[in-house]
């Protein structure tokens, strides 16, 4: 008989190898074309899919090998409609990243969509595949503060909602196990606007998009929040969760992926989660810190999940990683073998916790 397990999912990105990173630089220099770059990325995607399957992952991602610019604006990649400048975000070690290049040529539309990546991934595995998409709130920041003549903000938002909803819907139609909306700017917004008004506007925009889906569909949609994880640095870890989570859980999604392992006061965060989670929501708590080189032990993961179970109902609890292991394509700060060791530890730690939490259950639990 098989032990019942808490569900466990990764966030998304897996470190790219140097061949793919160098190929992207070669592409940007004009020495290879997009088709050549994409073919190499597809080969890398298939390798990652097989490696994740060999680790025993019950749900996999494509490792985001084809998100050449990274998670934040993959959908704008190789488009001539955007400036090279836009919203720059400061990280804790002093480096900066461009999160939202400003639109210069309307109307707003995606150049690439995540369902392109998902269609390839599901053709290469029989395992359930989870697909991450960027939030509409992140993309709302591409509209320049000075506006665009002949294309007002209201027109832009309508186009943005149409693009985002279409992407998510196509992913669901392709059979995505989950569609995860990456919402890293949620916590970051509180640095820009401590009043919380910007955060509330982001949540409102996401809910406008989710209103296009029925209850069953929203149970397959999730929200990921983290303080950033790029080159072993964060962008908003200093913002306390008490200012973020109550508003975040007003989003009408069925799943939440909440970075926890890197937090200073984990129990305080779990207590808060226990008071705000709604009956129809599941929360996957982060038990792996992707920007730490130390590989977590299965036992410490077990203990963190047992602590979480004190505050969160078991049928609403799961495990995940705090963030992807390489959200931006050129981040080589974490080796792939370290990422895999951490994923393996998460799976084993979740199993150990499940043995304690479900002592009388000897039936297989699907990762649902």
The pLDDT value given to residue 363? 41
The pLDDT value given to residue 366? 44
The pLDDT value given to residue 3? 60
**Cβ atoms of 343 and 288 closer than 8 Å:** yes
The pLDDT value given to residue 361? 55
Would you give the distance in Å from CA 289 to the centre of its chain? 14
- Tell me the three state secondary structure of residue 223: strand
Low-confidence ranges of the chain (pLDDT < 70): 1-3, 360-368
Give me the helices (H) in the chain, please. Answer: 18-28, 34-54, 114-122, 136-140, 153-173, 185-192, 197-210, 215-218, 245-248, 266-276, 298-308, 336-357
Report how far apart, in Å, the C-alpha atoms of 280 and of each of 215, 266, 335 are.
10, 23, 37
Estimate the crossing angle of helix 298-308 against helix 266-276, to 10 degrees: 40
Contacts of 151 (CB under 8 A, 6+ apart): 106, 107
- Tell me the three state secondary structure of residue 170: helix
The pLDDT value given to residue 97? 93
**Domains located in the chain, CATH noted:** 18-357 (3.20.20.210)
* Distance in angstroms (rounded) separating the CA atoms of residues 306 and 292: 22
The pLDDT value given to residue 359? 87
């Amino acid at each position: 008989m098989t032990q019942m397990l808490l569900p466990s999912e990764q966030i998304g990105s897996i470190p790219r190898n140097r061949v793919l990173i160098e190929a992207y630089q070669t592409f940007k220099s004009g020495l290879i074309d997009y088709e050549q770059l994409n073919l190499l990325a597809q080969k890398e995607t298939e390798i990652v899919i097989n490696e994740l399957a060999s680790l025993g992952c019950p749900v996999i991602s494509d490792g985001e090998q084809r998100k050449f610019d990274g998670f934040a604006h993959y959908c704008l990649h190789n488009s001539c409609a955007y400036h090279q400048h836009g919203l720059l975000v400061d990280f804790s070690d002093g480096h900066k990243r461009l999160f939202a290049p400003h639109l210069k040529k309307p109307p707003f539309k995606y150049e690439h969509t995540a369902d392109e990546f998902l269609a390839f991934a599901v053709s290469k595995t029989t395992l359930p595949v989870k697909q991450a998409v960027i939030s509409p709130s992140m993309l709302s920041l591409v509209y320049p503060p000075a506006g665009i003549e002949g294309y007002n903000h209201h027109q832009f938002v309508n186009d943005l909602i149409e693009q985002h909803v279409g992407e998510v819907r196509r992913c669901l139609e392709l059979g995505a196990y989950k569609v995860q909306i990456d919402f890293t700017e949620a916590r970051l917004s509180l640095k820009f606007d401590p009043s919380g008004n910007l955060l509330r506007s982001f949540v409102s925009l996401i809910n406008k998009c989710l209103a296009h889906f029925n209850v069953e569909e929203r149970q397959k949609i999730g929200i990921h929040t983290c303080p950033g994880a790029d080159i072993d640095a964060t962008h908003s870890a200093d913002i306390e969760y008490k200012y973020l989570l109550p508003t975040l859980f007003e989003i009408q999604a069925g799943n939440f992926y909440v970075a926890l392992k890197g937090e200073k006061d984990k129990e305080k965060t779990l207590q808060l989660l226990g008071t705000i989670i709604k009956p129809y929501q599941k929360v996957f708590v982060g038990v792996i810190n992707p920007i730490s080189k130390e590989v977590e032990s299965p036992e410490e993961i077990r203990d963190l999940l047992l602590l979480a179970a004190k505050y969160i109902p078991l049928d609403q609890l799961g495990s995940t990683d705090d963030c992807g292991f390489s959200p931006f394509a050129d981040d080589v700060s974490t080796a792939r073998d370290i990422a895999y060791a951490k994923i393996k530890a998460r799976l084993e730690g979740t199993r150990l916790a499940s043995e304690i939490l479900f002592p009388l259950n000897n039936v297989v639990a699907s990762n649902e």
